[in-house]
Amino acid sequence: MEYDKSIINRLKRIEGQLKGVLGMMEQEKDCKDIIMQLSAARNAIDRTMGVIVSTNLEQCVRKNVENGKGTEDLVKEAVNLLIRSR
């Protein structure tokens, strides 16, 4: 699968969020603020995973359709990936 620039940019933003959390910890910021930032990073990671799985699923489905193959197993695998990631 090719990863486009938008996915890479998402991960760079997440990296920046995590560096910010480390900075907050070094500055001994309030626990609540740190947890809120970590929660935001986790949500961003979850959304990025969803984008990656859906993009990959779309590409695989198109390939299977072009080759006259079924897509049910691909969809099940994608759903299982998302379920296991939680």
pLDDT, tens only, 18-61: 999 999 999 999 999 999 999 999 999 999 998 988 888 888 88
| pLDDT in the model for residue 9 | 96
Contact 81, 46 (CB under 8 A): no
* pTM (predicted TM-score): 0.80
- The CA-based angle 33-49-16, given to 5 degrees, is 40
Residue 42, phi then psi, degrees to nearest 5:
-60, -45
User: 51: domain CATH number?
Assistant: 1.20.58.1000
Full residue range of the structural domain in which residue 47 is found: 5-84
Axis-axis angle for helices 72-84, 31-66 (nearest 10):
170
Number of domains in the chain: 1
